[in-house]
Amino acid sequence: MAGEAHENGRRHAGSLMVGQTISHYRIEAQLGSGGMGVVYRAHDQRLQRKVALKLLQERGAGRTERWARVLAEARAASALNHPGITTIYEVGEEGEHLFIAMELVTGRTLREELRGGAMEARALLRVGAQVAEALAAAHAQGIVHGDIKPENVIVQADGRVKLLDFGIARQLAAETLTATQSAAPAWAPDSAVAGTLAYMAPEQFRGEVTDARSDLFSLGVTLYELAAGKRPFPGPTPAALAAQIQNHAPPALNAAGPKVPGELARVVHKLMEKQPGARYQSAQEVKVDLTNLSRDLELGVTPTAVAGKRAVAVLPFKLLTPNPEDEYLGVALADSLINQLGSSGELLVRPVNSVLRYARQAMDPLLAARELNVQVLVDGSIQKYGQQLRVHVQAWSAGDGSTLLSAKHDSEMTGLFALQDKIAEGLARALGFKPAAEVREEPPTRNPMAYELYLRGVERLSRLNRWDTRTAVEMLENATRLDPKFADAWARLAEACVLMGGTMEPGPLWMGKAEKAVRRALTLDPENAETHVARARMVWTPAKRFQHRAALRSLSEALRHSPGWPQALVWRGCILLHVGLMEEAQQGLLEALASNPDDPFALNFLGQTYLYRNSYDEGTEYMVSALTIDRGNVWANLFAPTGPLYSGQLEKAESLIRAGAQVLPDDPMLIACEGLLWAKRGERRRAEKLLLSALRKPKSLLHTHHMVHTAAAGYAVLGNTTKAVALLGTASSNGLPNYPMFRDDPHFKSFRKNPGFLRLMAKLKREWEGYAQEFGKR
């Protein structure tokens, strides 16, 4: 009763602060309270933004010393800059108040998530990997959290995780432990005290010096609770709890149920080892293992096409004779080897954009192999003296650290192309398979400057942003001017122009350039897989009226020359799901993910296949995975609300619409989603206004057919059958002739016998059967 009265008193005192101003923060509402203070939503009157303002509780004697310690830790934590850590804007004192102004984060804590029971394994792994990544960033700066528990981890609507209370959590944990050991406060299993003690590491109870590994123990307890739905140490009293944590092994996590993967149980139990030296030694190691397990679960059943194939990564080569003018060589050489090794179809080769982070850092090859989840890792070095090159290449077996290949090659710069072929041939033989092609004695161009521009353009293209892609176009255009018969340069120019015109700067200028480059490249080299992919993406655009068959044929041709090439598989999957061949799309996208597990496009398109098959929760999981990897991904931001909208999780849908609008404000697709949201809530006038606005706006960054389909669903919910059927006709004739999706969409159930809808379905069914006959399973 005394504790309840104290808490009620604190809430009352907290409510009295609403409307007051601390420093330049005007308090608007109380958000919650905890062991060290009360948290408010406040308005920063200086910078005109909303913040979370924590006012720390006064504890009488020793306040000055205590506050000094808290301020010191909070100020150190304010230097942390990581997307998974809540940003501390300011710490200070004013009068009787010690305050910390922080980033205002919205979402659900893991404690709130647990109210629904144990967490599904894929979601748990995604959360755990993000927490481990955030801890790794903090530990690298010498900062320990000190109180990792479900209350201090918040999951935002888009699946991103934030750690709360850096800078004050460790002080709270220490004070809680001291108070418990000295005063033995009134105990209840769910009290704030239990909520801190239950996650403490054994060495904290023993009074030993602690370090970052104590955070890892707390993370293990948290992950155990998420997986099992209950704590591993449920001690009914502080003494019993302390004894369990120090002396008792937690119950086997596998016993919590068949939905807990064995490898997850291994990771969690290793985190909860009693001795720090027996645990994981860094949060980065934890992140790597959780991420790799998450990737394995993403794939589900391994596609037949990739079963038994080894995964290989080729790191950018290190330049031993540093010169900014020559840095492009390391990435360009790696990119060439990646393409040549991948073209055989016998290996799963990580694409160049997945290894770029290793370009300028010293790295233990076995750790890199573990991070990339590959069985073989290739790295090397380049020495350049004038026009002379010496390249050293090594291949390592990740399993036992043995060397599979170590070779040195000397060459002139003008002979670099032949050198790339020789290195690829040596690697292929070391890995036990025949090279995809014989070594070519003739270089692709005899113009040294054209070849250098080509290599520089290849390196720029790997960066995947607008400005470097523009620069790549200029370099490749100059290369083709110097040698108009340089087929590889034309092929990469086509790829660059399609990338600009299809994603970065949509418009006829880039597609005109792409068309010219594709035509020239195919004339010079009809077997170039990159050119066939570029052609497919070019003809599958609104400007070319979505030529599904032509695009799919080009992608099939690309895969004939380069089996298993991820880029071709991803875009083939995308087009297949648009024409309603979802099973075929799913298999190809899973195959692409086997080579590039972190491809947000493949994850998003795979999510769409599940959404289109009415598996809404699973589809949303893939979208959220894509957003976790790439917060700014256009497709994932615009499609993420769809699953919750269809499954009736309207609050979650609204949160995802708001999150997407922060990245893509005023996009018609999100406006149409909001229209559907309000239609399902029964707000007719508001829904109609939004749907009309979406249809009248300039086109979405997505292809417009998706927005039109969503608007049709909105009008169907409102009972406007005529408008809904007309919009479905528009969507189907402009790139989305998806017969099974329209047939099974629950929003269209009410008018499935409507004559106009039946005519449309009959037409789409004939088209769908034609696609299935040519591109479906044999």
Pick left, alpha or beta for residue 630 (phi over 0 → left; psi -120 to 50 → alpha; otherwise beta): beta
Task: Tell me the pLDDT tens digit for each residue of 268-314.
Answer: 999 999 999 999 999 999 999 999 998 888 776 667 677 788 999 99
Task: Check residue 72 and give its pLDDT.
Answer: 74
**Domain C-terminal end among 242, 262, 297:** 297
**65 and 214 housed in the same domain:** no
Q: What is the CATH number of the domain that holds 39?
A: 3.30.200.20
**Would 504 be classed as within a structural domain?**
no
**Domain C-terminal end among 297, 326, 343:** 297
- Measure CA of the first residue to CA of the last residue in the chain; give whole Å: 72
**Would 61 be classed as within a structural domain?**
yes
**Would 231 be classed as within a structural domain?**
yes
Q: What is the CATH number of the domain that holds 155?
A: 1.10.510.10
Per DSSP, what are the bridge partners of residue 410?
390
**Would 176 be classed as within a structural domain?**
yes
**252 and 281 housed in the same domain:** yes
**Cα–Cα distance, 198 to 540 (Å, whole number):** 56
Sole residue written with tokens 């309603």: 580
Task: Tell me the pLDDT tens digit for each residue of 422-479.
Answer: 898 899 889 888 765 555 556 788 888 998 899 899 888 888 788 999 999 999 999 9
**163 and 264 housed in the same domain:** yes
Q: How far is CA 685 from the centre of its chain?
A: 37
**Domain C-terminal end among 103, 127, 144:** 103
**291 and 307 housed in the same domain:** no
Task: Check residue 57 and give its pLDDT.
Answer: 64
**221 and 280 housed in the same domain:** yes
**Would 756 be classed as within a structural domain?**
yes
| Pure H helices in 32-158 | 63-77, 110-114, 121-140
**Would 165 be classed as within a structural domain?**
yes
**252 and 178 housed in the same domain:** yes
Per DSSP, what are the bridge partners of residue 348?
311
Q: What is the CATH number of the domain that holds 375?
A: 3.40.50.10070
**92 and 113 housed in the same domain:** no
**99 and 187 housed in the same domain:** no
What does the angle CA 398 – CA 122 – CA 308 come to, to the nearest 5 degrees?
40
**334 and 412 housed in the same domain:** yes
**Would 453 be classed as within a structural domain?**
no
Pick left, alpha or beta for residue 302 (phi over 0 → left; psi -120 to 50 → alpha; otherwise beta): beta
Task: Check residue 5 and give its pLDDT.
Answer: 41
Enumerate residue ranges in the chain where pLDDT < 50. Answer: 1-12, 61, 183-193, 778
Task: Tell me the pLDDT tens digit for each residue of 318-334.
Answer: 999 888 888 888 888 99
**398 and 414 housed in the same domain:** yes
The domain in which residue 34 lies consists of 2-103
Instruction: Report the SS3 class of residue 22.
Output: strand
Task: Check residue 441 and give its pLDDT.
Answer: 55
CA proximity to 121, closest of 302, 268, 283, 309: 268
**Would 92 be classed as within a structural domain?**
yes
**333 and 227 housed in the same domain:** no
* Catalytically active residues, by annotation: 147
User: How many other C-beta atoms lie within 10 A of the C-beta of residue 560?
Assistant: 12
Amino acid at 576: L
Residues present in the chain in total: 778
**347 and 396 housed in the same domain:** yes
What's the number of domains the chain is made of? Answer: 4
